[in-house]
Structure 1
Protein backbone atom coordinates (compact mmCIF):
# COMPACT_ATOMS: atom_id res chain seq x y z
CA UNK A 1 0.00 0.00 0.00
CA UNK A 2 1.47 3.33 -1.10
CA UNK A 3 0.87 6.39 1.07
CA UNK A 4 0.51 9.76 -0.63
CA UNK A 5 0.28 13.11 1.10
CA UNK A 6 -2.05 15.20 -1.02
CA UNK A 7 -2.16 18.93 -0.30
CA UNK A 8 -5.22 20.81 -1.57
CA UNK A 9 -4.51 24.55 -1.62
CA UNK A 10 -7.36 26.87 -2.54
CA UNK A 11 -8.24 30.54 -2.33
CA UNK A 12 -11.87 29.50 -1.79
CA UNK A 13 -13.59 26.62 0.02
CA UNK A 14 -11.62 23.83 -1.68
CA UNK A 15 -14.74 21.91 -2.76
CA UNK A 16 -13.65 21.87 -6.39
CA UNK A 17 -10.23 20.50 -5.47
CA UNK A 18 -11.70 17.82 -3.25
CA UNK A 19 -14.04 16.60 -6.01
CA UNK A 20 -11.26 16.49 -8.60
CA UNK A 21 -8.85 14.76 -6.22
CA UNK A 22 -11.47 12.14 -5.43
CA UNK A 23 -12.12 11.52 -9.11
CA UNK A 24 -8.42 11.21 -9.85
CA UNK A 25 -7.66 8.90 -6.93
CA UNK A 26 -10.48 6.56 -7.95
CA UNK A 27 -8.34 5.55 -10.95
CA UNK A 28 -5.59 4.10 -8.75
CA UNK A 29 -5.62 1.00 -6.58
CA UNK A 30 -3.39 0.32 -3.61
CA UNK A 31 -2.93 4.00 -2.73
CA UNK A 32 -3.77 5.47 0.65
CA UNK A 33 -4.14 9.21 0.21
CA UNK A 34 -3.76 11.44 3.23
CA UNK A 35 -5.52 14.66 2.25
CA UNK A 36 -4.52 17.99 3.75
CA UNK A 37 -6.95 20.84 3.16
CA UNK A 38 -5.69 24.43 2.97
CA UNK A 39 -8.69 26.66 2.08
CA UNK A 40 -9.04 30.44 1.80
CA UNK A 41 -5.36 31.05 1.03
CA UNK A 42 -5.39 34.60 -0.34
CA UNK A 43 -2.21 36.22 0.93
CA UNK A 44 1.50 35.46 0.65
CA UNK A 45 1.81 35.41 4.45
CA UNK A 46 -0.92 32.79 4.74
CA UNK A 47 0.65 30.80 1.93
CA UNK A 48 4.04 30.82 3.66
CA UNK A 49 2.49 29.32 6.79
CA UNK A 50 0.78 26.65 4.70
CA UNK A 51 4.01 25.81 2.87
CA UNK A 52 5.82 25.38 6.17
CA UNK A 53 3.20 22.77 7.11
CA UNK A 54 3.50 21.12 3.70
CA UNK A 55 7.29 20.89 4.08
CA UNK A 56 6.75 18.75 7.19
CA UNK A 57 4.62 16.29 5.17
CA UNK A 58 5.81 16.61 1.56
CA UNK A 59 3.64 15.37 -1.26
CA UNK A 60 1.69 16.39 -4.33
CA UNK A 61 0.19 19.90 -4.27
CA UNK A 62 -3.06 20.51 -6.15
CA UNK A 63 -4.16 24.11 -6.21
CA UNK A 64 -6.72 26.60 -7.40
CA UNK A 65 -5.24 30.05 -6.85
CA UNK A 66 -6.15 32.94 -9.12
CA UNK A 67 -4.13 35.64 -7.34
CA UNK A 68 -1.02 36.23 -9.44
CA UNK A 69 1.45 36.97 -6.63
CA UNK A 70 0.21 34.16 -4.37
CA UNK A 71 0.19 31.68 -7.21
CA UNK A 72 3.68 32.64 -8.36
CA UNK A 73 5.01 32.32 -4.82
CA UNK A 74 3.49 28.85 -4.45
CA UNK A 75 5.09 27.64 -7.66
CA UNK A 76 8.47 29.16 -6.79
CA UNK A 77 8.65 27.78 -3.27
CA UNK A 78 7.29 24.35 -4.30
CA UNK A 79 9.98 24.14 -6.99
CA UNK A 80 12.63 25.05 -4.41
CA UNK A 81 11.38 22.22 -2.16
CA UNK A 82 11.25 19.79 -5.07
CA UNK A 83 7.50 19.24 -4.72
CA UNK A 84 5.21 18.67 -7.71
CA UNK A 85 2.36 21.16 -8.20
CA UNK A 86 -0.72 20.96 -10.42
CA UNK A 87 -3.05 23.86 -11.24
CA UNK A 88 -6.12 21.72 -11.74
CA UNK A 89 -8.39 24.30 -13.38
CA UNK A 90 -5.88 25.72 -15.85
CA UNK A 91 -6.70 23.38 -18.78
CA UNK A 92 -10.44 24.04 -18.37
CA UNK A 93 -10.07 27.82 -18.10
CA UNK A 94 -7.65 27.94 -21.03
CA UNK A 95 -9.98 25.87 -23.17
CA UNK A 96 -12.94 28.09 -22.34
CA UNK A 97 -10.87 31.19 -23.02
CA UNK A 98 -9.93 29.96 -26.50
CA UNK A 99 -13.47 29.02 -27.41
CA UNK A 100 -15.09 32.14 -25.96
CA UNK A 101 -12.39 34.48 -27.17
CA UNK A 102 -12.06 36.30 -23.87
CA UNK A 103 -9.95 36.27 -20.73
CA UNK A 104 -11.21 34.74 -17.48
CA UNK A 105 -11.96 37.01 -14.53
CA UNK A 106 -9.44 36.21 -11.79
CA UNK A 107 -11.72 36.38 -8.78
CA UNK A 108 -11.25 33.94 -5.86
CA UNK A 109 -14.32 31.86 -5.01
CA UNK A 110 -16.30 33.23 -7.94
CA UNK A 111 -18.17 29.92 -8.26
CA UNK A 112 -19.49 30.27 -4.71
CA UNK A 113 -21.01 33.74 -4.89
CA UNK A 114 -24.61 34.03 -3.70
CA UNK A 115 -26.07 34.72 -7.12
CA UNK A 116 -29.42 33.75 -8.59
CA UNK A 117 -28.22 30.18 -9.18
CA UNK A 118 -27.28 29.86 -5.51
CA UNK A 119 -30.75 30.90 -4.39
CA UNK A 120 -32.32 28.54 -6.94
CA UNK A 121 -30.43 25.68 -5.32
CA UNK A 122 -31.61 26.70 -1.87
CA UNK A 123 -35.20 26.89 -3.13
CA UNK A 124 -34.86 23.52 -4.85
CA UNK A 125 -33.51 21.83 -1.73
CA UNK A 126 -36.29 23.29 0.42
CA UNK A 127 -38.95 22.18 -2.07
CA UNK A 128 -37.50 18.70 -2.48
CA UNK A 129 -37.23 17.99 1.25
CA UNK A 130 -40.86 19.06 1.71
CA UNK A 131 -42.11 16.86 -1.16
CA UNK A 132 -40.33 13.62 -0.34
CA UNK A 133 -42.05 10.24 -0.35
CA UNK A 134 -45.38 11.39 -1.78
CA UNK A 135 -45.88 14.41 0.49
CA UNK A 136 -47.84 17.52 -0.54
CA UNK A 137 -49.04 16.03 -3.81
CA UNK A 138 -51.12 19.13 -4.54
CA UNK A 139 -47.88 21.06 -5.12
CA UNK A 140 -46.24 18.60 -7.53
CA UNK A 141 -47.12 20.74 -10.54
CA UNK A 142 -44.50 23.23 -9.29
CA UNK A 143 -41.75 20.61 -9.51
CA UNK A 144 -39.23 20.39 -12.32
CA UNK A 145 -38.94 16.63 -11.95
CA UNK A 146 -41.04 13.93 -10.27
CA UNK A 147 -39.46 10.53 -9.65
CA UNK A 148 -41.74 7.51 -9.35
CA UNK A 149 -40.85 3.99 -8.32
CA UNK A 150 -41.49 1.23 -5.85
CA UNK A 151 -40.18 1.51 -2.31
CA UNK A 152 -36.33 1.51 -2.00
CA UNK A 153 -35.65 2.31 -5.65
CA UNK A 154 -33.32 5.26 -4.81
CA UNK A 155 -35.95 7.98 -5.25
CA UNK A 156 -35.08 10.06 -2.18
CA UNK A 157 -31.27 10.17 -2.52
CA UNK A 158 -31.58 10.87 -6.25
CA UNK A 159 -34.06 13.68 -5.55
CA UNK A 160 -31.73 15.25 -2.99
CA UNK A 161 -28.79 15.06 -5.39
CA UNK A 162 -30.86 16.71 -8.12
CA UNK A 163 -31.99 19.41 -5.68
CA UNK A 164 -28.35 20.24 -4.98
CA UNK A 165 -28.01 20.78 -8.72
CA UNK A 166 -30.91 23.25 -8.65
CA UNK A 167 -33.84 21.05 -9.72
CA UNK A 168 -37.05 21.09 -7.69
CA UNK A 169 -38.01 17.45 -7.22
CA UNK A 170 -40.84 15.44 -5.76
CA UNK A 171 -40.93 11.68 -5.52
CA UNK A 172 -43.73 9.16 -5.25
CA UNK A 173 -43.52 5.59 -3.93
CA UNK A 174 -45.71 3.34 -6.06
CA UNK A 175 -47.86 1.22 -3.77
CA UNK A 176 -50.66 -0.90 -5.25
CA UNK A 177 -54.03 0.58 -4.34
CA UNK A 178 -52.66 3.88 -3.05
CA UNK A 179 -55.06 6.61 -4.25
CA UNK A 180 -52.27 9.21 -4.09
CA UNK A 181 -50.85 7.65 -7.26
CA UNK A 182 -53.65 9.33 -9.19
CA UNK A 183 -51.89 12.65 -8.65
CA UNK A 184 -49.15 11.53 -11.00
CA UNK A 185 -51.54 11.05 -13.87
CA UNK A 186 -52.63 14.68 -14.15
CA UNK A 187 -49.19 16.32 -14.08
CA UNK A 188 -48.39 18.53 -17.07
CA UNK A 189 -45.31 20.67 -16.28
CA UNK A 190 -42.91 18.32 -14.45
CA UNK A 191 -40.85 15.65 -16.14
CA UNK A 192 -42.00 12.36 -14.62
CA UNK A 193 -39.29 9.68 -14.62
CA UNK A 194 -39.82 6.07 -13.59
CA UNK A 195 -37.10 4.34 -11.60
CA UNK A 196 -36.93 0.58 -11.72
CA UNK A 197 -34.56 -2.03 -10.31
CA UNK A 198 -34.00 -5.77 -10.52
CA UNK A 199 -36.02 -7.91 -8.13
CA UNK A 200 -32.85 -9.44 -6.66
CA UNK A 201 -31.30 -6.08 -5.93
CA UNK A 202 -34.54 -4.69 -4.52
CA UNK A 203 -35.01 -7.64 -2.17
CA UNK A 204 -31.42 -7.31 -0.92
CA UNK A 205 -31.86 -3.58 -0.23
CA UNK A 206 -35.17 -4.16 1.51
CA UNK A 207 -33.72 -6.96 3.66
CA UNK A 208 -31.00 -4.59 4.83
CA UNK A 209 -33.65 -2.02 5.62
CA UNK A 210 -35.67 -4.53 7.66
CA UNK A 211 -32.57 -5.58 9.57
CA UNK A 212 -31.86 -1.95 10.43
CA UNK A 213 -35.44 -1.63 11.70
CA UNK A 214 -35.19 -4.87 13.70
CA UNK A 215 -37.91 -6.64 11.73
CA UNK A 216 -37.90 -10.27 10.64
CA UNK A 217 -36.69 -11.41 7.22
CA UNK A 218 -39.99 -13.16 6.37
CA UNK A 219 -41.82 -9.84 6.09
CA UNK A 220 -44.06 -9.52 3.02
CA UNK A 221 -41.94 -6.52 2.08
CA UNK A 222 -39.31 -8.92 0.72
CA UNK A 223 -41.57 -11.71 -0.53
CA UNK A 224 -40.24 -12.54 -4.03
CA UNK A 225 -43.70 -12.94 -5.57
CA UNK A 226 -44.92 -9.70 -4.03
CA UNK A 227 -41.82 -7.82 -5.16
CA UNK A 228 -42.24 -9.17 -8.69
CA UNK A 229 -45.85 -7.96 -8.76
CA UNK A 230 -44.85 -4.50 -7.53
CA UNK A 231 -42.19 -4.15 -10.20
CA UNK A 232 -44.56 -5.38 -12.91
CA UNK A 233 -47.20 -2.87 -11.80
CA UNK A 234 -44.67 -0.03 -11.89
CA UNK A 235 -43.33 -0.98 -15.33
CA UNK A 236 -46.85 -1.27 -16.72
CA UNK A 237 -47.68 2.20 -15.40
CA UNK A 238 -44.51 3.69 -16.92
CA UNK A 239 -45.25 2.10 -20.28
CA UNK A 240 -48.92 3.16 -20.27
CA UNK A 241 -48.03 6.76 -19.51
CA UNK A 242 -45.02 6.89 -21.87
CA UNK A 243 -42.70 8.03 -19.09
CA UNK A 244 -38.95 7.56 -19.51
CA UNK A 245 -37.56 4.78 -17.34
CA UNK A 246 -34.14 4.42 -15.72
CA UNK A 247 -32.92 1.09 -14.34
CA UNK A 248 -30.95 1.92 -11.18
CA UNK A 249 -29.78 -1.64 -10.51
CA UNK A 250 -26.15 -0.98 -11.41
CA UNK A 251 -26.12 2.80 -11.27
CA UNK A 252 -24.78 5.06 -8.56
CA UNK A 253 -26.96 7.95 -7.38
CA UNK A 254 -24.75 10.31 -9.39
CA UNK A 255 -25.18 8.25 -12.56
CA UNK A 256 -28.95 8.07 -12.11
CA UNK A 257 -29.16 11.82 -11.52
CA UNK A 258 -27.04 12.50 -14.60
CA UNK A 259 -29.40 10.39 -16.72
CA UNK A 260 -32.39 12.28 -15.31
CA UNK A 261 -30.76 15.64 -16.08
CA UNK A 262 -30.07 14.52 -19.65
CA UNK A 263 -33.74 13.61 -20.07
CA UNK A 264 -34.80 16.96 -18.61
CA UNK A 265 -32.44 18.91 -20.87
CA UNK A 266 -33.61 17.01 -23.95
CA UNK A 267 -37.20 17.87 -23.15
CA UNK A 268 -36.38 21.53 -22.51
CA UNK A 269 -34.23 21.92 -25.63
CA UNK A 270 -35.95 24.22 -28.12
CA UNK A 271 -37.39 22.48 -31.16
CA UNK A 272 -35.09 22.54 -34.11
CA UNK A 273 -31.89 22.95 -32.11
CA UNK A 274 -29.30 20.38 -33.07
CA UNK A 275 -26.78 19.57 -30.32
Structure 2
Protein backbone atom coordinates (compact mmCIF):
# COMPACT_ATOMS: atom_id res chain seq x y z
CA UNK A 1 0.00 0.00 0.00
CA UNK A 2 1.37 3.41 -0.97
CA UNK A 3 2.07 5.96 1.75
CA UNK A 4 0.67 9.45 1.12
CA UNK A 5 2.46 12.72 1.91
CA UNK A 6 1.70 16.43 1.62
CA UNK A 7 4.24 18.51 -0.32
CA UNK A 8 4.07 22.29 -0.65
CA UNK A 9 5.38 24.07 -3.75
CA UNK A 10 5.80 27.81 -3.23
CA UNK A 11 6.90 30.33 -5.82
CA UNK A 12 6.89 34.05 -6.48
CA UNK A 13 6.35 33.19 -10.15
CA UNK A 14 4.39 30.46 -11.95
CA UNK A 15 5.66 27.53 -9.87
CA UNK A 16 6.74 25.59 -12.95
CA UNK A 17 10.29 25.17 -11.61
CA UNK A 18 9.21 23.70 -8.28
CA UNK A 19 6.74 21.36 -9.96
CA UNK A 20 9.41 20.11 -12.35
CA UNK A 21 11.84 19.46 -9.50
CA UNK A 22 9.16 17.59 -7.54
CA UNK A 23 8.22 15.34 -10.47
CA UNK A 24 11.85 14.53 -11.19
CA UNK A 25 12.53 13.78 -7.52
CA UNK A 26 9.41 11.79 -6.68
CA UNK A 27 10.04 9.49 -9.65
CA UNK A 28 12.98 8.07 -7.67
CA UNK A 29 10.73 6.65 -4.95
CA UNK A 30 8.40 3.66 -4.99
CA UNK A 31 5.38 3.24 -2.75
CA UNK A 32 4.98 7.00 -2.29
CA UNK A 33 2.02 9.17 -3.25
CA UNK A 34 2.04 12.92 -2.83
CA UNK A 35 -0.66 15.52 -2.56
CA UNK A 36 0.68 18.69 -4.13
CA UNK A 37 -0.19 22.04 -2.59
CA UNK A 38 0.85 24.56 -5.24
CA UNK A 39 1.24 28.21 -4.30
CA UNK A 40 2.22 30.38 -7.29
CA UNK A 41 2.72 34.18 -7.40
CA UNK A 42 3.35 34.52 -3.65
CA UNK A 43 4.64 38.10 -3.36
CA UNK A 44 3.11 39.57 -0.20
CA UNK A 45 3.31 38.93 3.53
CA UNK A 46 -0.44 38.26 3.64
CA UNK A 47 -0.12 35.57 0.98
CA UNK A 48 2.77 33.95 2.84
CA UNK A 49 0.75 33.90 6.05
CA UNK A 50 -1.96 31.87 4.28
CA UNK A 51 0.65 29.48 2.92
CA UNK A 52 2.22 28.98 6.35
CA UNK A 53 -1.19 28.30 7.87
CA UNK A 54 -1.80 25.59 5.27
CA UNK A 55 1.60 24.04 5.99
CA UNK A 56 0.68 23.93 9.70
CA UNK A 57 -2.57 22.14 8.88
CA UNK A 58 -0.94 19.71 6.44
CA UNK A 59 2.73 19.39 7.40
CA UNK A 60 5.10 18.18 4.72
CA UNK A 61 8.23 19.07 2.77
CA UNK A 62 8.41 22.52 1.22
CA UNK A 63 10.05 23.28 -2.12
CA UNK A 64 10.29 26.96 -2.92
CA UNK A 65 11.63 29.57 -5.33
CA UNK A 66 11.41 32.93 -3.54
CA UNK A 67 13.86 35.80 -4.03
CA UNK A 68 12.52 38.03 -1.26
CA UNK A 69 14.21 37.55 2.14
CA UNK A 70 11.11 39.12 3.71
CA UNK A 71 9.04 36.17 2.47
CA UNK A 72 11.65 33.45 2.83
CA UNK A 73 12.52 34.06 6.48
CA UNK A 74 9.13 33.33 8.11
CA UNK A 75 8.69 30.30 5.87
CA UNK A 76 12.05 28.82 6.82
CA UNK A 77 11.47 29.55 10.51
CA UNK A 78 8.06 27.84 10.50
CA UNK A 79 9.39 24.80 8.66
CA UNK A 80 12.20 24.52 11.20
CA UNK A 81 9.67 24.66 14.02
CA UNK A 82 7.53 21.97 12.33
CA UNK A 83 10.62 19.88 11.57
CA UNK A 84 9.82 19.56 7.85
CA UNK A 85 12.35 19.96 5.00
CA UNK A 86 12.40 23.41 3.40
CA UNK A 87 14.41 23.56 0.18
CA UNK A 88 15.20 26.53 -2.02
CA UNK A 89 15.86 24.74 -5.31
CA UNK A 90 17.52 27.64 -7.13
CA UNK A 91 19.92 28.87 -4.43
CA UNK A 92 22.83 26.49 -5.21
CA UNK A 93 22.62 27.26 -8.93
CA UNK A 94 22.30 31.03 -8.49
CA UNK A 95 25.16 31.15 -5.96
CA UNK A 96 27.43 29.14 -8.27
CA UNK A 97 26.59 31.40 -11.22
CA UNK A 98 27.08 34.57 -9.18
CA UNK A 99 30.52 33.36 -8.14
CA UNK A 100 31.48 32.39 -11.69
CA UNK A 101 30.14 35.60 -13.30
CA UNK A 102 31.43 37.74 -10.42
CA UNK A 103 28.07 39.51 -10.36
CA UNK A 104 25.39 40.32 -7.81
CA UNK A 105 21.88 38.94 -8.43
CA UNK A 106 19.03 41.34 -9.21
CA UNK A 107 16.47 39.36 -7.17
CA UNK A 108 13.73 39.71 -9.78
CA UNK A 109 10.70 37.42 -9.23
CA UNK A 110 9.77 35.51 -12.37
CA UNK A 111 12.71 36.93 -14.29
CA UNK A 112 12.70 33.95 -16.64
CA UNK A 113 9.24 34.96 -17.88
CA UNK A 114 10.25 38.40 -19.16
CA UNK A 115 8.55 39.17 -22.47
CA UNK A 116 11.62 39.00 -24.67
CA UNK A 117 12.25 37.88 -28.24
CA UNK A 118 12.48 34.22 -27.20
CA UNK A 119 9.02 34.42 -25.65
CA UNK A 120 7.46 35.74 -28.84
CA UNK A 121 9.37 33.14 -30.88
CA UNK A 122 7.72 30.41 -28.80
CA UNK A 123 4.28 31.94 -29.31
CA UNK A 124 4.86 32.14 -33.06
CA UNK A 125 6.08 28.53 -33.07
CA UNK A 126 2.93 27.39 -31.22
CA UNK A 127 0.73 29.12 -33.78
CA UNK A 128 2.68 27.36 -36.51
CA UNK A 129 2.21 23.95 -34.85
CA UNK A 130 -1.54 24.45 -34.60
CA UNK A 131 -1.76 25.45 -38.27
CA UNK A 132 0.37 22.52 -39.44
CA UNK A 133 -0.89 19.73 -37.20
CA UNK A 134 -1.66 16.30 -38.65
CA UNK A 135 -0.68 17.17 -42.22
CA UNK A 136 -2.61 20.45 -42.44
CA UNK A 137 -1.42 23.33 -44.63
CA UNK A 138 1.24 21.24 -46.36
CA UNK A 139 2.02 24.16 -48.65
CA UNK A 140 3.60 26.02 -45.73
CA UNK A 141 5.82 23.17 -44.57
CA UNK A 142 8.92 24.81 -46.07
CA UNK A 143 8.83 27.30 -43.18
CA UNK A 144 9.17 24.51 -40.60
CA UNK A 145 12.28 24.08 -38.47
CA UNK A 146 11.52 20.38 -38.39
CA UNK A 147 8.85 17.91 -39.49
CA UNK A 148 7.73 14.82 -37.58
CA UNK A 149 6.37 11.85 -39.55
CA UNK A 150 4.87 8.73 -38.01
CA UNK A 151 1.97 6.32 -37.91
CA UNK A 152 -1.09 7.13 -35.85
CA UNK A 153 -0.63 7.52 -32.06
CA UNK A 154 3.14 8.04 -32.02
CA UNK A 155 2.74 11.31 -30.04
CA UNK A 156 3.36 13.59 -33.01
CA UNK A 157 1.07 16.41 -31.87
CA UNK A 158 2.05 16.66 -28.17
CA UNK A 159 5.73 16.39 -29.11
CA UNK A 160 5.30 19.19 -31.67
CA UNK A 161 3.65 21.39 -29.05
CA UNK A 162 6.40 20.70 -26.53
CA UNK A 163 9.12 21.52 -29.08
CA UNK A 164 7.42 24.82 -29.86
CA UNK A 165 6.74 25.79 -26.26
CA UNK A 166 10.13 24.87 -24.81
CA UNK A 167 12.52 25.32 -27.72
CA UNK A 168 10.68 27.79 -29.97
CA UNK A 169 10.81 25.39 -32.94
CA UNK A 170 8.22 25.61 -35.70
CA UNK A 171 7.24 21.96 -35.94
CA UNK A 172 4.92 20.43 -38.52
CA UNK A 173 3.72 16.85 -38.16
CA UNK A 174 2.44 14.55 -40.88
CA UNK A 175 0.73 11.16 -40.41
CA UNK A 176 2.03 8.13 -42.28
CA UNK A 177 -0.97 6.20 -43.61
CA UNK A 178 -0.38 3.13 -45.82
CA UNK A 179 -1.66 3.69 -49.31
CA UNK A 180 -1.71 7.49 -49.00
CA UNK A 181 1.18 9.37 -50.58
CA UNK A 182 2.95 11.92 -48.42
CA UNK A 183 3.03 15.52 -49.72
CA UNK A 184 5.81 15.89 -52.29
CA UNK A 185 7.09 19.00 -50.50
CA UNK A 186 8.40 16.82 -47.65
CA UNK A 187 11.05 15.37 -49.92
CA UNK A 188 12.44 18.75 -50.94
CA UNK A 189 13.33 20.41 -47.64
CA UNK A 190 17.14 20.57 -47.44
CA UNK A 191 17.05 23.17 -44.63
CA UNK A 192 14.49 21.30 -42.51
CA UNK A 193 15.14 18.36 -40.20
CA UNK A 194 12.86 15.41 -40.91
CA UNK A 195 12.32 12.94 -38.05
CA UNK A 196 10.48 9.63 -38.13
CA UNK A 197 8.60 8.54 -35.01
CA UNK A 198 7.81 4.91 -34.33
CA UNK A 199 6.69 2.65 -31.48
CA UNK A 200 6.19 -1.03 -30.76
CA UNK A 201 3.10 -2.63 -32.29
CA UNK A 202 1.85 -3.82 -28.88
CA UNK A 203 2.07 -0.32 -27.46
CA UNK A 204 0.32 1.26 -30.44
CA UNK A 205 -2.51 -1.27 -30.31
CA UNK A 206 -3.02 -0.54 -26.61
CA UNK A 207 -3.13 3.23 -27.14
CA UNK A 208 -5.41 2.91 -30.17
CA UNK A 209 -7.85 0.64 -28.32
CA UNK A 210 -8.09 3.15 -25.50
CA UNK A 211 -8.69 5.89 -28.04
CA UNK A 212 -11.54 3.95 -29.70
CA UNK A 213 -13.14 3.19 -26.34
CA UNK A 214 -12.98 6.85 -25.38
CA UNK A 215 -14.73 7.76 -28.64
CA UNK A 216 -17.29 4.94 -28.22
CA UNK A 217 -16.27 3.45 -31.55
CA UNK A 218 -16.06 -0.16 -32.73
CA UNK A 219 -13.11 -1.67 -30.83
CA UNK A 220 -12.21 -4.34 -33.40
CA UNK A 221 -10.97 -2.85 -36.68
CA UNK A 222 -7.81 -2.96 -38.79
CA UNK A 223 -6.75 0.12 -36.83
CA UNK A 224 -6.03 -2.12 -33.83
CA UNK A 225 -5.23 -5.39 -35.61
CA UNK A 226 -1.73 -6.35 -34.48
CA UNK A 227 -0.61 -7.67 -37.87
CA UNK A 228 -1.92 -4.60 -39.67
CA UNK A 229 -0.18 -2.33 -37.21
CA UNK A 230 3.09 -4.24 -37.63
CA UNK A 231 2.80 -3.77 -41.40
CA UNK A 232 2.21 -0.02 -40.91
CA UNK A 233 5.31 0.27 -38.76
CA UNK A 234 7.38 -1.71 -41.23
CA UNK A 235 6.29 0.45 -44.18
CA UNK A 236 6.97 3.63 -42.24
CA UNK A 237 10.45 2.46 -41.26
CA UNK A 238 11.23 1.64 -44.90
CA UNK A 239 10.23 5.18 -45.85
CA UNK A 240 12.42 6.67 -43.11
CA UNK A 241 15.36 4.51 -44.15
CA UNK A 242 14.96 5.30 -47.85
CA UNK A 243 15.12 9.03 -47.12
CA UNK A 244 17.81 8.71 -44.40
CA UNK A 245 15.55 10.37 -41.84
CA UNK A 246 16.59 9.79 -38.22
CA UNK A 247 14.14 7.63 -36.27
CA UNK A 248 13.08 7.83 -32.63
CA UNK A 249 11.22 5.00 -30.92
CA UNK A 250 8.75 6.59 -28.49
CA UNK A 251 7.61 3.32 -26.90
CA UNK A 252 9.28 3.93 -23.55
CA UNK A 253 9.85 7.65 -23.80
CA UNK A 254 7.86 10.47 -22.26
CA UNK A 255 6.96 13.48 -24.42
CA UNK A 256 9.73 15.45 -22.70
CA UNK A 257 12.32 12.75 -23.41
CA UNK A 258 11.27 12.46 -27.04
CA UNK A 259 11.40 16.23 -27.51
CA UNK A 260 14.83 16.44 -25.88
CA UNK A 261 16.16 13.73 -28.20
CA UNK A 262 14.72 15.53 -31.22
CA UNK A 263 16.23 18.83 -30.08
CA UNK A 264 19.66 17.19 -29.91
CA UNK A 265 19.16 15.90 -33.46
CA UNK A 266 18.16 19.42 -34.52
CA UNK A 267 21.31 20.96 -33.03
CA UNK A 268 23.49 18.29 -34.65
CA UNK A 269 21.71 18.72 -38.00
CA UNK A 270 22.55 22.42 -38.13
CA UNK A 271 26.08 21.96 -36.83
CA UNK A 272 26.74 19.52 -39.64
CA UNK A 273 25.22 21.89 -42.20
CA UNK A 274 27.42 24.74 -40.98
CA UNK A 275 30.48 22.51 -41.28
CA UNK A 276 29.57 21.60 -44.87
CA UNK A 277 28.90 25.25 -45.75
CA UNK A 278 32.33 26.22 -44.47
What is the TM-score when the length of structure 2 is the normalising length?
Answer: 0.89
Structure 2 CA distance, aligned partners of 1:206 and 1:175?
Answer: 15
Q: Secondary structure at the match of 1:34?
A: strand
The aligned residue for residue 213 of structure 1 is 215
- Is 1:8 matched with 2:9? yes
Q: Work out whether residues 174 and 181 of structure 1, in 8 Å CA contact, stay in contact via their aligned partners in 2.
A: no
Structure 1 CA distance, aligned partners of 2:47 and 2:214?
Answer: 47
- How far the C-alpha of 1:35 sits from its partner, in A, is 1.9
- Is 1:258 matched with 2:260? yes
Question: 5 Å matches for 1:231-242?
Answer: 231-242=233-244
2:174 pairs with one of 168, 172, 175: 172
Q: Work out whether residues 155 and 171 of structure 1, in 8 Å CA contact, stay in contact via their aligned partners in 2.
A: yes
**Residue ranges of structure 2 left out of the alignment (5+ in a row):** none
- Is 1:86 matched with 2:87? yes
What is the TM-score when the length of structure 1 is the normalising length?
Answer: 0.90
Structure 2 CA distance, aligned partners of 1:10 and 1:269?
Answer: 37
Structure 2 CA distance, aligned partners of 1:32 and 1:205?
Answer: 25
Q: Work out whether residues 138 and 183 of structure 2, in 8 Å CA contact, stay in contact via their aligned partners in 1.
A: no
The aligned residue for residue 198 of structure 1 is 200
1:181 pairs with one of 169, 183, 186: 183
- Structure 1 stretches of at least 4 aligned residues deviating more than 4 Å after TM superposition: none
Q: Work out whether residues 62 and 85 of structure 1, in 8 Å CA contact, stay in contact via their aligned partners in 2.
A: yes
Structure 1 CA distance, aligned partners of 2:171 and 2:83?
Answer: 49
Q: Secondary structure at the match of 1:33?
A: strand
The aligned residue for residue 223 of structure 1 is 225
The aligned residue for residue 32 of structure 1 is 33
Q: Secondary structure at the match of 1:269?
A: helix
Deviates more, 1:59-68 or 1:45-54: 45-54
Structure 1 CA distance, aligned partners of 2:209 and 2:142?
Answer: 34
For residues 49-85 of structure 1, the C-alpha deviation after alignment (integer angstroms, 9 at most, x for no partner) is 3223322222222111101222233223433444431
Q: Work out whether residues 142 and 189 of structure 1, in 8 Å CA contact, stay in contact via their aligned partners in 2.
A: no
* Residues 1:84 and 1:139: Cα distance change in structure 2 (over 3 Å): same
Q: Work out whether residues 151 and 173 of structure 1, in 8 Å CA contact, stay in contact via their aligned partners in 2.
A: yes
Number of equivalences: 272
Aligned CA RMSD, in angstroms, stands at: 2.1
Structure 1 CA distance, aligned partners of 2:68 and 2:108?
Answer: 8
Q: Work out whether residues 221 and 227 of structure 1, in 8 Å CA contact, stay in contact via their aligned partners in 2.
A: yes
Deviates more, 1:7-16 or 1:74-83: 74-83
For residues 209-250 of structure 1, the C-alpha deviation after alignment (integer angstroms, 9 at most, x for no partner) is 333333334422233443333222211111111111111122
- How far the C-alpha of 1:12 sits from its partner, in A, is 1.4
* Residues 1:173 and 1:73: Cα distance change in structure 2 (over 3 Å): same
- Is 1:49 matched with 2:75? no
* Residues 1:72 and 1:269: Cα distance change in structure 2 (over 3 Å): farther
**Residue ranges of structure 1 left out of the alignment (5+ in a row):** none
Q: Work out whether residues 137 and 180 of structure 1, in 8 Å CA contact, stay in contact via their aligned partners in 2.
A: no
